[in-house]
Structure 1
Amino acid sequence: MDFNPVILSIPLYFFLIGIELVYQLIKKVRVYRTNDAISNISCGISSQVMNAVWGVLSIAMYQLVYEYGAVFQIPDTWWSWLILFILVDFCYYWFHRASHEINFLWNTAHVVHHQSEDYNLSVALRQSSFGGVFSMLFYLPLALMGFSAYAFLTVKGLNLIYQFWIHTEAIEKLPKWFEYLFNTPSHHRVHHGRNPKYIDRNHAGTLMIWDRMFGTFQAEEEKPTYGVTKPTNTWNPVWANVLPIVDMTNQLRATPGFWNKLKVLFYKPGWQPVELGGYQMAPEVDKETYNKFDVHPHMPMIRYVFVQFILVLVFTSYFLFNTTSYNLPTKLVLAGFIMWSIGQLGILMENRKSWIPSEYIRLLASAILIVFLTGGMTSYLGAGGFVILFGFWLFKASKKV
């Protein structure tokens, strides 16, 4: 398996989420909602699975630029890695800022990360399925400078790992010197706020100095209201990725004129021509009337979905840790099954009874996959037992929907 700090850190992510859950119990505050947390982690699953399928393209892009365009090759030393760490963070700042200020990038590469109306460590895992390829364009100058793909991918992974812990409300303010230099939970809570004063602020990855230098810093004042100005209102991670693109496509169709259509793509989110009303500012949040999206089924179905989700999560981890051992057709089949599973479970959390028959089909597909991956008489017995057990559980749970 190729070295990937983000994948190798998966156990650490869930360990820290467990600590945050303990914090929730001790403080008697509601930090997590089961439906939202499953949706967040499912978006993370989708992102990592898609990256396993086509992430090789972005890596190949970097490697080609490095091999044929690099001025010289920088050796792997402690000082070169320190310089690379600063440069990766600098490039990340500009990609992150661009993904907020360019409508096309916002809707394809980043909006998914901001859709949750909660703020906890599971939100850190909520990532777009299409962001990896676009973000690589902002890092190609590092390949031209002569930093190897191995060094770049390692440092970039460490940069992302750092950003995990700042997605929490459990930590308030840190010492002033640390708040000044580094990104912290306080700074990043601002970034996730949908309040007009907080929108498009604090784009830093690790170092807060970029926001201070380029005029995008905002200190945390009142508690943010989290989410996006147009709530997604779905637990389905597949639809959460597709819906913003559908909305942008519909906006393009409704916008007259070629140049106006280009502006829809490359101007800030909310831009539209004067004849359609002009730029739409983010509205203030009315905390008296604001309610989070919170559709959920009855408890028997929640229990069923939760257990199935854990099984899918375990299978996804197995897939990600062994992805290099599969040929492309097998990889596509397994990735497709994972995407189908998280989408299906998200739909079940929305109380859609009409989708229950497709869950029986997914259980049968799971049994076929068990036989395919393991083989032998034992696998047939295990697959049969799997279908009978969970099919009966689903039947009982569906009576309460």
Structure 2
Amino acid sequence: MDLNPVILSIPLYFLLIGFELVYQLIKKAKIYRTNDAISNISCGISSQVTNAIWGVISVGMYQYVYTYWSISQIPNTWWSYLVLFLLVDLCYYWFHRASHEINFLWNTAHVVHHQSEDYNLSVALRQSSFGGAFSMVFYLPLALIGFNAYAFLAVKGINLIYQFWIHTEAIEKLPKWFEFLFNTPSHHRVHHGRNPKYIDRNHAGTLMIWDRMFGTFQAEEEKPTYGVTKPTNTWNPVWANVLPIVDMTNQVKVTPGFWNKLKVLFYKPGWQPAELGGYQVAPEVDKETYRKYDVHPHMPMIRYVFVQFVLVLTFTALFLFTQANYDFNTKLALVGYIMWSIAQLGILMENRRKWIPSEYLRLVASAVIIVFLIGGTSSFLIAGGFVLLFGIWLNSAQRLS
């Protein structure tokens, strides 16, 4: 079993999401949209399963620096964990800030987290599939100082778990002393705002002292408009990760001059040379004309997609808890199947009917996975029943839509 605190906390995440849904019913508030929530959690699935690959590389990198380059070996004591907690939070602040202020990092490692135009606990799960490939670089000084990988991963996990609960509108402002010291829902709502005054503010993980120290703090004033200045407009989590990279690549291609191309990658998002119009300032949000992206199929297909999503989510959770049991090739194949599944379901949520035939193919692939993992004669019966049941349901949903 994977002892990653973030993975072990998955049941808690969905319990809290359940509480937020109850809050929505009681308050008659429009906090969740099914299509957006499925997309958010699908991005979380994508992030976690790709981290099964990135994580090995990242931990190996950290362990290598600790083993061969560390200037000391700090014992695991209460005081060392306290110091490590502060340093992990500081490193997170700078990674997070860099991910907003360096275009390459923004588009590869972080923009996905900001794409949702809603703000609820499902948004906390919306993470980039490529963030794990870059974030470890910012934590390597901790290995160099002498904090071992076990202590680092435990504290980093706790740091990330803390950040889950602040993605909500159900909690307003907390006592002043708490708001001063810690990251809160109010502070983080600012961070997710696309209003010009809120952009690139409040990068804290746990402690707000870093934003106050380094000049990036902004208190919540008017209600933020959430999302990014160039909406992604897709429920497909794979495309949500790839599109910003495609846009950045196209921007590099049309930018004249080698040094200008480098500046596009490493300057702030929105930078371009003067001959192309200069730096693009984020526009104010027109509350009168602004509309959220809200494409969805008819209800029969929504029901089908929702049930398939729950099955894929359950399969993903089992995979994450048991991934240590698989060799690399099997792990890669299962990751590929999960990525295909969430992409396919996202496409169906966009009402792209021409992609329905590929869903029948995915059902067959699901049956193959069932036979492979369960084995024995019974697995063929289960797999056959799975394809028959959901094939009939999909056909019915297609006709009724």
Same fold (TM over 0.5): yes
Q: Return the letter of the residue paired with 2:378.
A: T
Q: SS at the partner of 2:238?
A: helix
Partner Cα separation in structure 2 for residue 169 and residue 217 of structure 1: 19
State the partner residue of 2:353: 353
Partner Cα separation in structure 2 for residue 354 and residue 136 of structure 1: 41
Alignment of 1:316 with 2:323, yes or no, is no
Partner Cα separation in structure 1 for residue 144 and residue 232 of structure 2: 39
Q: Return the letter of the residue paired with 2:90.
A: F
Q: Return the letter of the residue paired with 1:25.
A: L
TM-score using structure 2 length:
1.00
Q: Is the 8 A contact 2:47 2:127 kept in 1?
A: yes
Q: CA deviation at 1:133?
A: 1.9
Partner Cα separation in structure 2 for residue 192 and residue 38 of structure 1: 19
Deviations 1:122-168 (A, max 9, x none): 00000000001201000000000000000000000000000000000
Q: CA deviation at 1:54?
A: 2.6
Q: Is the 8 A contact 2:272 2:278 kept in 1?
A: yes
Q: Return the letter of the residue paired with 2:7.
A: I
Deviations 1:226-274 (A, max 9, x none): 0000000000000000000000000000000000000000000000000
Q: SS at the partner of 2:400?
A: coil
Q: SS at the partner of 2:370?
A: helix
State the partner residue of 1:92: 92
Alignment of 1:336 with 2:306, yes or no, is no
Aligned residues: 401
Partner Cα separation in structure 2 for residue 259 and residue 373 of structure 1: 52
Q: Is the 8 A contact 2:93 2:205 kept in 1?
A: yes
Partner Cα separation in structure 1 for residue 97 and residue 334 of structure 2: 34
What's the RMSD between the two structures over aligned residues?
0.5
State the partner residue of 1:301: 301
Partner Cα separation in structure 1 for residue 67 and residue 85 of structure 2: 21
Q: Return the letter of the residue paired with 2:175.
A: P
Q: CA deviation at 1:399?
A: 1.3
State the partner residue of 1:106: 106
Q: Is the 8 A contact 2:114 2:228 kept in 1?
A: yes
Partner Cα separation in structure 2 for residue 370 and residue 91 of structure 1: 42
Deviating 4+ runs (over 2 angstroms): none
Q: Return the letter of the residue paired with 1:31.
A: I
Q: Return the letter of the residue paired with 1:101.
A: E
Q: CA deviation at 1:55?
A: 1.3
State the partner residue of 2:289: 289
Alignment of 1:24 with 2:24, yes or no, is yes
State the partner residue of 2:376: 376
Q: Is the 8 A contact 2:115 2:231 kept in 1?
A: yes
State the partner residue of 1:48: 48
Partner Cα separation in structure 2 for residue 204 and residue 392 of structure 1: 49
Alignment of 1:233 with 2:221, yes or no, is no
Q: CA deviation at 1:84?
A: 0.1
Alignment of 1:146 with 2:168, yes or no, is no
Q: Is the 8 A contact 2:114 2:192 kept in 1?
A: yes
Deviations 1:23-56 (A, max 9, x none): 0000000110000000000000000000012310
State the partner residue of 1:387: 387
Gaps spanning 5+ residues in structure 1: where?
Answer: none
State the partner residue of 2:123: 123
Q: CA deviation at 1:400?
A: 3.1
Q: SS at the partner of 1:17?
A: helix
Q: SS at the partner of 2:134?
A: helix
Q: SS at the partner of 1:381?
A: helix
Partner Cα separation in structure 2 for residue 89 and residue 53 of structure 1: 24
Partner Cα separation in structure 1 for residue 90 and residue 55 of structure 2: 22
Q: Is the 8 A contact 2:2 2:320 kept in 1?
A: no
State the partner residue of 2:169: 169
Q: CA deviation at 1:2?
A: 3.6
Deviations 1:324-362 (A, max 9, x none): 110011001100000000000000000000000000000
Gaps spanning 5+ residues in structure 2: where?
Answer: none
Q: Return the letter of the residue paired with 1:136.
A: M
> Which of 357-366 and 375-384 deviates more?
375-384
Partner Cα separation in structure 2 for residue 189 and residue 371 of structure 1: 45
Q: CA deviation at 1:175?
A: 0.1
State the partner residue of 1:399: 399
Identity %: 83
